[in-house]
Amino acid sequence: MKVAEGKQKFIHTWGRLGANWGINRTMASVHALLLVSADAMNADEIMAELKISRGNANMNLRELMNWGLVHKEIIRGDRKEYFVAEKNLVKVAKLIMKERRKRELDPIVKTLAELQTIEGDKKDKHVKAYLETVKGLKDLTTKADGLIELMLKADESRFLNLLIKLLT
Amino acid sequence: MKVAEGKQKFIHTWGRLGANWGINRTMASVHALLLVSADAMNADEIMAELKISRGNANMNLRELMNWGLVHKEIIRGDRKEYFVAEKNLVKVAKLIMKERRKRELDPIVKTLAELQTIEGDKKDKHVKAYLETVKGLKDLTTKADGLIELMLKADESRFLNLLIKLLT
DNA sequence: CCGTACTTTCAATTATTATTGAAAATATAA
DNA sequence: TTATATTTTCAATAATAATTGAAAGTACGG
């Protein structure tokens, strides 16, 4: 396989991956393109490479910057803005985890706590089924939150060592 | 808050959660409804409760069964089919992880291995950037796969102990 | 076997989400 | 400041995904 073909496939694969994870397909493609590019790229280059409109490129680049996955780079004597992706994929994974935790997990933990405060006969099987499910899910999200916290804090080698230890 | 209201909100919350995770909103709602219901429900009851069509209910129930999250229950002397959700949320989380690993992670690991086999000068910075990203992502997915494996294998208490140990 | 109650399928429709492109806003260099 | 290059916005449009509902398919009890 040639490099150009590999890049194409990589962009496609990452795009599909993103779509399964609540990330817009184009945003994931732009990210993939910048990840496999040696140099910073400007909007026109990205538009040409991915065959997308200026508005689309702009919007998705902004969103990638909001996630902290991409940043602007100024090149002296060039009016255009250039974009670079964070290439350390461990950092990338952590940024994504952090963002999703903030956007999704935190609000859910809060909602579940509210949902536990209902009036009604705790002996009634319907009330019981409800409360057990809500409690179970709250416990689970709390645990997931702890795991994410751990992954975000732990440095890579420690985390790897841990994994190895536990898998053997 | 009354139980009925709590149920409504729970179904809504779980539905939104699912949508962020590549699971169709209605499928998540049906799942939520069965999770908080004390008794098995038939198609008509589910349709009425969620205000969805028969076709929609049928399709999403089938998908939930494919995931192993819901199963049919036969009630003697009743021609209707009844549905029950697995209520143990740790089991539920494991089933979801298993299914998503199968559907997404496995194919990606395979693709990334292919993408590493390119022709070209490994000294060239473009080739280098490409290979480093692909390798980085492969390492990451392999690690993620190991973590999932661990979570699926480890019994709950061991996993909890581990977490506690590491968080303190 | 029937007749009937129920389930499944899927083409057509509706709802949702993503994308375009051109106008407005902004920034740069002279 | 002004002329111009570049970026941003957003209403209109296109693409995608979910939903309906009625017809076809199944299976149960007699």
Rounded to whole angstroms, how far apart are CA atoms A156 and A150? 11
Q: Predicted confidence band at B144 (pLDDT cuts at 50, 70, 90)?
A: confident
For nucleotide C4, the protein residue with its alpha carbon nearest to C1' is B79
Size of chain A, expressed as the number of residues it contains: 168
In Å, how far are A33, A138, A159, B94, B162 from A105, measured between CA atoms?
29, 10, 22, 18, 22
Give yes or no for residue B83 having a pLDDT over 70: yes
Fill in the DSSP letter of residue B69: S
Give yes or no for residue B164 having a pLDDT over 60: no
> Could you tell me what percent of chain B has a pLDDT over 70?
92
Please report residues contacting nucleic strand C, using a CB cutoff of 7 A. Answer: A 24-26, 51-56, 59-60, 77, 79; B 19, 42-44, 54-55, 58-59, 61-62, 78-81
Q: Check B143 against A160: CB less than 8 A apart.
A: yes
Q: Predicted confidence band at A166 (pLDDT cuts at 50, 70, 90)?
A: low
Average pLDDT of the residues in A56-67: 97
A88 Cβ contact partners less than 8 Å away, ≥ 6 residues apart: B136
Give yes or no for residue B167 having a pLDDT over 60: no
In Å, how far are A102, A103, B166 from A107, measured between CA atoms?
8, 7, 25
Q: Which two tokens stand for residue A71?
A: 């940043």
pLDDT averaged over every residue in chain B = 90
pLDDT at residue number B129: 96
pLDDT at residue number A66: 96
Q: Predicted confidence band at B157 (pLDDT cuts at 50, 70, 90)?
A: low
Average pLDDT of the residues in B45-56: 98
pLDDT averaged over every residue in chain A = 90
Give yes or no for residue B166 having a pLDDT over 70: no
pLDDT at residue number A151: 84
Which among B21, B93, B140 has the least Cβ separation from residue A140?
B93
pLDDT at residue number A143: 85
For nucleotide D20, the protein residue with its alpha carbon nearest to C1' is B53
Q: Which two tokens stand for residue B33?
A: 């409804």
pLDDT at residue number B152: 86
Q: Check A162 against B166: CB less than 8 A apart.
A: yes
Q: Check B125 against A93: CB less than 8 A apart.
A: no
- Exposure class string for B76-115: b at 16+ Cβ within 10 A, else e: eeeeeebbebbbebeebbbbbbeebbeebbeebbebbeeb
Q: Predicted confidence band at A23 (pLDDT cuts at 50, 70, 90)?
A: confident
Please report where in the chains the tokens 């209520």 appear, as a residue.
Answer: B87
Residues A93-145 have pLDDT tens digits of 999 999 889 888 888 999 999 999 999 999 999 999 999 999 999 998 988 88
* A152 interface with B at CB cutoff 8 Å: no
Please report residues contacting nucleic strand D, using a CB cutoff of 7 A. Answer: A 19, 42-44, 54-55, 58-59, 61-62, 78-81; B 24-26, 51-56, 59-60, 77, 79
Measuring from the CA of residue B55 to each C1' atom, give the nucleotide at the shortest distance.
D20
| Residue B47 CA from chain centroid, whole number | 23
Q: Predicted confidence band at A163 (pLDDT cuts at 50, 70, 90)?
A: low
Fill in the DSSP letter of residue B107: H
Output the 3-class SS for A109-159.
Answer: HHHHHHHCCCCCCCCCHHHHHHHHHHHHHHHHHHHHHHHHHHHHHCCHHHH
